Structure 1
Amino acid sequence: MRIDDDTPEPGALPPVYPCRPPLNLVVEPGLLRPRNLFAFEGIDGAGKSTLLDRVIAAHAARGRETLKLRLGRSDITAHALERAKWRNATPLTFSLLSWVTIVEQVAEHRHALDGDGLVFFDRYVPTLMVRGILEGLSTDYMHALAAYAPRPTILFLIDCDPAICRDRMIARGRPVSYFERGARIVGGLHQTMTEGDPAIRGAADGAVPLLGHLVRMRDALGQRMADYDTVMVIDNEGSPDAAFETIMEAIDAVDRNRDASRIAAVSRAG
């Protein structure tokens, strides 16, 4: 049997593999723009997850099918991410594992995209990109991976002053974690994300670096919103009721437009 050596010569650029990557690597091309995918973004303490759970409960009460997906919570990578987070991993390892959670969940639930139900992501591509940027990673590979992630029908950016978010987190009564303070922000890829001293998680001065991290996250997330054409900023500094109603009205408007499109399509077919 003959084995050809395809090792590139020194200085030669190897061919890109695959040279024409299939768009259905994750989803079919038509599902890269579904009409029922909603992503919730925001910094810790902004009330993002609380609002999302309330929105899901409201639609469930209407008898509407809903699906909640979470960044970093796919069946394949959940355990590996926990080990990477608390044990020993470079930011690049942690970032790539997190990207897999989006790919795996979208692939598993592709049947639900653009279906009759509603699909929600608790954090999405912008969070992954921001975390990587703050940890010193290049965005080149992230932009390539983001091209395969379906575009949200609406990306809800739950906005809140970082100082208010910090106070909310402290009021929860649990220690501010090592990672919530931005301790993963490092200068290079060769540094690990290992927590040097477990006691640092509950250190009394955690609120100071926490606020700085929240400010950086908010600024960076705001910059990433330019990548999307369907962003809706939701002010959640005051009563969450107003924010909740605004989100519900926006989703209802999408539903009305979808129904109108279906009626028009049926009329043309007839």
Structure 2
Amino acid sequence: MTAQLYARDVGAGTPLVLLHAFPLSSAMWLGQREGLADRFRVITPDLRGFGGSVLGADEPSVDAMADDVARLFRRLGVPRAVVCGLSMGGYVAMALCRRHPELVLGVVLCATRASADGDAVRETRLRQAERLEREGGVGVLVDEVLPHLVGPTTLRQRALIYGRVRGLVQATPAPAAAWAQRAMAARPDSFDTLRELKVPALVMVGSEDVLATEDEAREMADALPNAELLVIQRAGHLCPVEQPDLFNQAVAEFATAVARLAN
């Protein structure tokens, strides 16, 4: 059974498809829907099993998630879009570039990695997936994932943002989180995909991100034929949530330039 994704679709103009992080939902993009919909058509899907989207019965796979997004493009009548993926959403964006390159006008890869998981990270994902399935709740994500999602500046100065992120993690359905962890654990290295990319790219990372480092972001930007690297100061892994104005400005400038090139 394929999963038909629930998506919010607001604004008009160049389509901008924003793919959310793990273990959140499209609710994380509130600041982008509010800040970018006056200039772009902002489409924010819930990836399968998260938010308003059903999980379906497919084997866990980032490719399946990318195919879901491709079907959403067709359902919404979107021929091409600037695709922005954050963390897990970045893995899906890279799979979309590999499997459906004709849909991608430009790509923003934020707080994500092109390399496959090393053994230790893969084992952690699979252990968490087993706990999620066994316990039926997301305590393991609150204990082990949530502490790394925002940077120390946010923890010190933006208590409301941290509280919102915590609420989004707590709302995650355990079966979706387990499925996604297994999908991410099995994902391939994407550096070949980046080297062959024919469209402009923007690589972004928070200066305080401990999950996807600045060095990893630089490696991705170096592999891409046509890319810029932007480090967002005083932000951790969720820079669109922690520094929405800086993130929105960068994405708006990139998407505007990409649309001008395409016309």
TM-score (structure 2 length as normaliser) = 0.42
Which structure has more relative contact order (CA 8 Å, sep 6+)? It is: 1
Whose radius of gyration is greater, 1 or 2?
1
Q: TM-score, normalised by structure 1?
A: 0.41
The structure where strand makes up a greater share of residues is 2
